Structure 1
């Protein structure tokens, strides 16, 4: 004991501070996409605030992969081979393949849509198994995108809904939007984001209708076409609502959705608890603590829209 106490302080710290390995998997179709890079930064900040310091007691293993099955499975194999203590995933697209590959390594998701309905957890209060985390929103929020579209562009009577029909989340979001469309007097038409051509064809068709508009749903497949969708909405003069602020930061009109950077910081608390011995099965899935309405007034001017004062008053941020 006396001999150990004579060692330099830095060496004693290295002996007592076990380095824990946390793997992060994001389905990032756009290089340096702030939508996902913000989550990584938020998680880093949250862990640092809790005393987990990279290079001292923490090793972060970050995997960025295109959101397709082949690439995701390749990264899942690589990250699990490194024997992480915890895996953090960006959402449902990346969580499911990890969950299929391991039933023992703890998993924390940052923004999964409908984690119960999509089969990631048994229930929100009692997740069961080796996965827990934070939901992005429940499907009811999807209807608000169409409501907001009608509020900012009252003449809208036909809306293209860009969603991925191959995903449960895409089907669920469209179903809710469709359920509120009649009361709003809007005919909704699905647009599949199979590729750039299918998106452009769908948006072109909507633009030929009197009172056309767009609603963009939330998932990695749709996000992969973000720049194109914003460009086409501007070109065709279509008002559009989006699921998060990164679309508005890039020139989109208006967004309503969770602050996923804040959620990522909260996810760090779950990683901290698991590293200290907690089980994912005992940590309830949490909903976002904050939703934000972001408006781009420059985009509104370009579309010839006069934004209602009531909508502007509700905005968390107005970009001019």
Structure 2
């Protein structure tokens, strides 16, 4: 009888122990699920729509997704586009700050400047920036300091290689027409670098400044009689209306060189460029570091890893450029 009683007591204890363990496991599992479902809020501000900036944004989001952050689950994205309007740009920056985002991504110089002016408390990442130092976004490229870091789209050899290639593809060229928005800080830097490269290659230049995308076609037409080729720098206003330049270039057979590869895919002739999606992805990897607790100011500013010559064969035919095997050596040819 004692043995039976002892057995019953032992069985009861085991049962209670099992039930307690199950309850603890369920509580632990519930806690893990809650942690997994914790939502991260990220605001994105972009000065204007065009393929390069869009690709950078898409690359950023792809990096987040690869790290386990996905919209509708544990990620809330608030993407806003200023459509090139300075007032909208500042309002967007202030709204993203007031919405208590965990991190803000600013795409292009004007967007980044507005956000940096609006907060010192929220981590800020930028991408698609020509010169973070002259734009007063960071104090040092290796040690940015404070709450800001990101990626620049200025490969040190991009402009000088592109300008040098003008002599290779259009050896008879003497004057290069440049359209740019003199209100964009990034564009001014790019144009100054292009002017130096042009002088080094014995080329003259004709400049036409615009302030809105609606002026781009007229600017291109005004350069026809003064230019042998066009060069379009990384200028958000002009690139957003790039088809206007391409229309004039094709009609007048003016070879058009550009500051980034996405514009070559749209119908310009050539550039030394890189993939903006890759640049955005690199920025997304920085976001993961910040979300994991790293201080933005301790992350060095990043730059494009790869640079390649890209030539649009179809544009070459429309713009009167003769392509030879020698000229195309080492180039990535698109638009067959």
Query: What's the offset of the Cα at 1:294?
Result: 1.8
Indicate the residue corresponding to 1:207 in structure 2: 224
- Give the whole-Å Cα distance in 2 for the aligned partners of 1:156 and 1:117: 32
Select which of 252, 260, 272 maps to 2:276: 260
Indicate the residue corresponding to 1:23 in structure 2: 43
Query: Does 2:69 align with 1:52?
Result: yes
CA contact under 8 A between 1:238 and 1:303: conserved in structure 2? Answer: yes
- Distance change (3 Å), C-alpha of 1:4 and 1:96: farther
Give the SS at the match of 1:84: coil
Q: How does 1:171-320 map to 2 (within 5 A)?
A: 171-195=188-212, 198-209=215-226, 212-320=228-336
Indicate the residue corresponding to 1:152 in structure 2: 169
Q: CA RMSD in A?
A: 2.3
- Give the whole-Å Cα distance in 2 for the aligned partners of 1:51 and 1:249: 31
- Give the whole-Å Cα distance in 1 for the aligned partners of 2:218 and 2:58: 36
1:114-173 residue CA offsets vs partner (Å, 9 max, x unmatched)? 111221100111101211011111566323332222221111111111222223322222
Indicate the residue corresponding to 2:25 in structure 1: 5
Of the structure 1 ranges 266-275 and 218-227, higher mean CA displacement relative to structure 2 is found in 218-227
Query: Does 2:136 align with 1:116?
Result: no
1:73-124 residue CA offsets vs partner (Å, 9 max, x unmatched)? 1211222222111111112121000000011111111221111122110011
CA contact under 8 A between 2:187 and 2:233: conserved in structure 1? Answer: yes
- Give the whole-Å Cα distance in 2 for the aligned partners of 1:187 and 1:12: 65
- Distance change (3 Å), C-alpha of 1:197 and 1:94: closer
Taking structure 1 as the reference length, the TM-score comes to 0.90
Give the SS at the match of 1:21: strand
- Distance change (3 Å), C-alpha of 1:232 and 1:292: same
Taking structure 2 as the reference length, the TM-score comes to 0.86
Rg (Cα) greater in structure: 2
Give the SS at the match of 2:181: coil
Q: In the comparison of the two structures, how many residue pairs are matched? A: 316
